[in-house]
Chains A and B, each alone.
Chain A
Amino acid sequence: MSTVTPDQLGHGHDDHAHGHPTGIMRWVTTTNHKDIGTMYLWFSFTMFLVGGCMALTIRAELFEPGLQIVNPEFFNSMTTLHGLIMVFGAIMPAAVGFANWMIPMLIGAPDMAFARMNNWSFWLLPPAAILLVTSLFVPGGGPSAGWTMYPPLTIQNGMGMDLTIFAIHIMGASSIMGSINIITTILNLRAPGMTLMKMPLFCWAWLITAYLLIAVMPVLAGAVTMLLTDRHFGTSFFNAAGGGDPVLFQHVFWFFGHPEVYIIILPAFGIISEILPAFSRKPLFGYASMVYALAGIAILSFIVWAHHMFTTGLPTAGLLFFMYATMLIAVPTGVKVFNWLATMWRGSITFETPMLFCLGFLFLFTLGGFTGLVLSIMPVDIQLQDTYYVVAHFHYVMVAGSLFAFFAGVYYWIPKWTGTMYDERLGKIHFWSSLISFNVTFFPMHFLGLAGMPRRIPDYAQQFADWNMVASIGAFWFGLSQLIFLYAVLKCIFHKGEKAPAKPWDGATTLEWTVPSPAPYHTFETPPVIK
């Protein structure tokens, strides 16, 4: 079998983007999964810095009690947009960037199944980002009801909220198209001999993530559409006077929102499951159980949403059901953590930067999982709802979970992407600096939350001053640490470093290491045969 591009039909052969647009138009019109993956990752990093600046605005305001820097409305816009931008602009596109770069190479395919649609999936994101950021500059200011967009506050927000609603529609379209592409690629474009149960676990993680995305992004679209019609067209979905209920929004939103949490973490699980075996020089322990655990998490994620709503006055039977269902998720997650540890057990471990980030992930994600378990206990959650304990919990799983796994992935695969080894010293500095500053930022938030400090408030009681100051110092430190990462990546891109061999990691076994570094523009023109 062979690959063919249409421009070959006339010519004898085609090499490196021959006859293709150059300069900016190469990136605008590209149908190459590597180009698109690169754009996804850069977009994600840019949004990470934008959302990061918003986080630093929040932390600057919270550095000491009282109102110093921004007014409360703007503070609320910052918390709202920080959440939306980090979730939809930074974390999710980074995961799709990895999928684009790696899935075709991991399964032995030349590209994604739908290359043009792939381009559109990416190029829908900048308009959505423009809409989100524009919302800050329109009359009435940005959306300020929190990233969860609960009515009735969102009904009262200005036109910034409308921009946000359409941004979410467009990002949803992007996610659905991207997911359909990924599922189709995995199901239909695997190299001969690569059965589903021989696939690298990253592909399994993304297959299940994509399924979740297709199942819940339309539900979010429905939820924000109802918001839009309630705001402008006189419907009463969330208006008790007309027979509706604001809590309905929370149900619909969290039916999306809880699977969304796994959409964010499962690709990270996939990356970890590739890297840990490579640096432990052992095959992944319990491959099949890892797949079943992923599927179990995905299925359970649909029946736990109301644990975000323990204080809304649900009937007791409902509270109990959602509490126990939530606790059940600890079982498949525990299987995964156990298998990762067992993978390392008696392995010949070395501690390069990707492995360090994996270990950081393992420690801190598990900690975030434990605080999640604490929050799943309904009577405890009634105390902790909307406190900084919740903020600490989900930043442990989003930042030290997903983000650290993505850092691990970048360091692991950047030799393959650029053909240049990253600077190990810089990588290690980045890791330790991030690890320590992350904990300085977020660990104190557990104390603040347990002591009763509410989230999304620009001012606080004097008793919370000390730990807030510590958290703010940590936040700025964490933010600055990411510039080390930027520098390390740029060094690779401009080939300032050792030339990378085809397989820089002796423990790595997957297909991408069988091709040269940097990987050729079209990787597997002839499918490799998997024994």
Chain B
Amino acid sequence: MSSATTPGTAPAYYIPQPSHWPILGSFALLMMAMGTVAWINSIAFGPWLLLAGFCVLLVMLFGWFGTVIGESEHRMYSKRVDMSFRWSMSWFIFSEVMFFAAFFGALFYIRNLSVPDLGSLGSKILWPDYASAWPTEGPYLNSPFTPMGAIGIPLINTLILLSSGVTLTIAHHALKAGNRGSLKLWLFLTILLGFTFLCFQAYEYHHAYTEYNLKLTSGVYGSTFFMLTGFHGLHVTIGAIMLTVMLVRIFKGHFDAEHHFGFEAAAWYWHFVDVVWLLLFVLVYWL
């Protein structure tokens, strides 16, 4: 290379060495895909293959993120690399937004087009007794359920997630001010609120299945309700895991007032999950 660089100073560009983590990840996903397909088609080895693939994926995630964290802590990332991380995390969150958009779009279509159409004059030959309404399990499933109201757990969960956004911001300010004790406390509180949210959601699901007869199979209401809130819950789980990793890193002494994009990225993700919840609360539970 043109000029030698002393360890500890970040170069303008960063090109990592060859890495075996990606291929391991590919193997993991292949195993998981094959395992899932086998499982849902009632082939005995399916769940085991899925589990094995998931374990390989965990190894890969630990190894790969570990490498990146190591490089970051050795200050091998320049300002330019930092900017690359910022761009890429923004675009990643945009892709997540579009994923949820597909399901919100489906909800919009079902509520405003397909359900009214099934109750319209044109569908009377097929379903003479069906009057379109929302919530509905459709004209032919005949499994009445109680829909999930907005007041109660969903409202509590809204307050929980909103306050977790506040606590996370306080933690971020503490990090920038160099106040590590306060940072740990507020970040811990954020994670606690996140897991409380998940516990409430698990309770809500249990309640829906046992008391309300509201299931994934309860027509389009059940489909959209569980898919939207379920994918959101999955994202809360991922976000909470990210924040937990950040807390562990903070206890290990990582991050300072200048270098903490890992923390910021997790925070961005958390706020994104928060905003999706607000939409869910209004469009799935409330209206």
Contacts A13-B4, A233-B216 known; A245 to B117 CB distance under 8 Å? Answer: yes
Residues of chain B from 41 to 94 with CB closer than 8 A to chain A in the complex: 41, 64, 71, 76, 80, 83-84, 87-88, 91-92, 94
> Are B3 and A2 in contact, CB atoms less than 8 angstroms apart?
yes
Residues of chain A from 181 to 239 with CB closer than 8 A to chain B in the complex: 181, 183-184, 187-189, 214-219, 221-223, 225-226, 229, 232-237, 239
Shortest Cβ distance from residue A4 to the other chain B in the assembled complex, whole angstroms: 4
**A276 lies within 8 A of chain B by Cβ:** no
**B165 lies within 8 A of chain A by Cβ:** no
Can you name the residue of chain A whose Cβ is closest to the Cβ of B30? A127
Shortest Cβ distance from residue A11 to the other chain B in the assembled complex, whole angstroms: 9
Complex CA gap A188/B84 in Å reads 6
> Are A176 and B80 in contact, CB atoms less than 8 angstroms apart?
no
> Are A127 and B80 in contact, CB atoms less than 8 angstroms apart?
no
> Are B23 and A123 in contact, CB atoms less than 8 angstroms apart?
yes
**A498 lies within 8 A of chain B by Cβ:** no
> Are A180 and B103 in contact, CB atoms less than 8 angstroms apart?
no
B1-42 vs A, Cβ < 8 Å mask (1 yes, 0 no):
111110100011111111111110111011001101100110
> What is the size, in residues, of chain A's interface with B at 8 Å between Cβ atoms?
87
> Are B118 and A1 in contact, CB atoms less than 8 angstroms apart?
no
**B222 lies within 8 A of chain A by Cβ:** yes
> Are B22 and A244 in contact, CB atoms less than 8 angstroms apart?
no
> Are B18 and A226 in contact, CB atoms less than 8 angstroms apart?
no
Shortest Cβ distance from residue A123 to the other chain B in the assembled complex, whole angstroms: 4
Can you name the residue of chain B whose Cβ is closest to the Cβ of A6? B17
Contacts of A255 in B (CB 8 A): 102, 105
> Are A159 and B99 in contact, CB atoms less than 8 angstroms apart?
no
Residues of chain B from 104 to 133 with CB closer than 8 A to chain A in the complex: 105-106, 109-110, 113-115, 117-118, 126
Contacting A176 at CB < 8 Å: which of B11, B95, B126, B222? B95
Interface of A is mostly: helix
Q: What's the count of A-B pairs with C-beta under 8 Å?
A: 261
Contacts of B22 in A (CB 8 A): 29, 116-117, 119-120, 123
**B227 lies within 8 A of chain A by Cβ:** yes
Shortest Cβ distance from residue B17 to the other chain A in the assembled complex, whole angstroms: 5
Contacts A116-B19, A130-B30, A163-B37 known; A243 to B5 CB distance under 8 Å? Answer: no
**B219 lies within 8 A of chain A by Cβ:** yes
Contacts of B220 in A (CB 8 A): 236-237, 242-244
> Are A226 and B227 in contact, CB atoms less than 8 angstroms apart?
yes
> Are B11 and A242 in contact, CB atoms less than 8 angstroms apart?
no
Complex CA gap A234/B105 in Å reads 20
> Are B114 and A248 in contact, CB atoms less than 8 angstroms apart?
yes
Complex CA gap A252/B29 in Å reads 25
Contacts of B20 in A (CB 8 A): 28-29
Contacting A242 at CB < 8 Å: which of B2, B36, B137? B137
Contacts A237-B106, A239-B138, A243-B219 known; A115 to B16 CB distance under 8 Å? Answer: yes
> Are A526 and B18 in contact, CB atoms less than 8 angstroms apart?
no
18 further interface pairs, Cβ-Cβ under 8 Å (given A2-B5, A12-B4, A222-B99): A8-B4, A8-B5, A114-B88, A116-B64, A126-B26, A162-B40, A179-B91, A180-B92, A183-B91, A215-B94, A215-B95, A218-B98, A222-B101, A223-B102, A240-B114, A240-B139, A241-B138, A247-B114
Q: What 7 A-B pairs have minimum CB-CB distances, sorted nearest first? A: A222-B102, A243-B138, A120-B22, A234-B217, A241-B140, A245-B114, A1-B12
Provide 28 A-B residue pairs closer than 8 Å at the C-beta atoms, listed in order of the A residue: A2-B12, A5-B17, A6-B76, A9-B5, A28-B20, A28-B23, A29-B22, A111-B13, A111-B15, A113-B84, A115-B15, A116-B21, A123-B26, A159-B37, A163-B34, A180-B95, A184-B84, A184-B88, A217-B98, A219-B99, A236-B137, A237-B106, A240-B114, A241-B140, A242-B138, A243-B114, A243-B138, A248-B109
